[in-house]
Amino acid sequence: MNLLYSLLCHGPKLLLYPGAFEQRPRVLLTPSQFGLPYEDVVITTSDNVKIRAYLLVQKNIEKTAEPSNNPLENESEEEFASTKPTILMFHGNADNIGFVIPLAEKFFVDMHCNVLMLSPRGYGLSEGRPSTKGLKLDSKAALHYIVAHPILAKTPIILYGQSMGAAFAIDLGTRNHSQIRGLIVENTFTSLRRLIPDAMPIFSLLATFFRQWNSLKRISETPLSLPILMLSGLRDEIIPARHMKALWDAANPNGLQRQGRLVEFAHGHHNDTWDQPGYWEAVAQFVEELTSSAVPTIS
């Protein structure tokens, strides 16, 4: 009865964005609970919705009070952080930013990246209710926050998304490819229309009406000069792995090969692929390749 009532109240948005319809007030995990320094950021979107984000900025732990012969020890906090990549993170549709702090920790601690963790409208402590148009505005606002930031604006920007969050990343990356250095996506779908018969067979007859988030079309429009890393759990019980394979093929049309790769994890399920052996090694290698070697200019 509760599900039926919720469906009547919220319609298909409840199916697409269940994490945005949790009861309030909400209590979220914070990076400080993991020993990570952070800033709780409020970003105002172009339609005047206030969304929240966790910002983790690198600190120069080698800096000393006295001048040193080691240049690294003389760098200011701003100079140090500006030499590191910035990861813009998009979580899945049933998650919130508190759930994915362990992933942000990998980027921040192990790879020495700055991290902006977006909480889109309706999720966590952000205002509003999710919609396709609204979530695109949220993603754009988060990217604009980075490129307008006095420190982060100087850094290479890499988008990272899981599941539905990867669809946000693909859409944002395609539309704003000149502003980002690379794209990392995990366990996502080609389109909602193709996914619904797999994930929610009971709604198969309605699938044709779901035209949102056509990632297959979007990624085929992404210039080959934009590097992409795809991470796929072959035991994904929600989004069949063939969706990821189709996305990779669309990203590399006519036998052409962009920088990046599709990495498959034989034992990865939808919610634990990130914890599979070799996952973070693949991510770290990709980030290192983007930030330490010459990358073609994105046009």
Q: What are the residue numbers of the active site?
A: 163, 236, 270
Strands 39-44 vs 182-186: parallel, antiparallel or unpaired:
unpaired
The dihedral through the CA atoms of 160, 153, 145, 38 has a sign that is positive
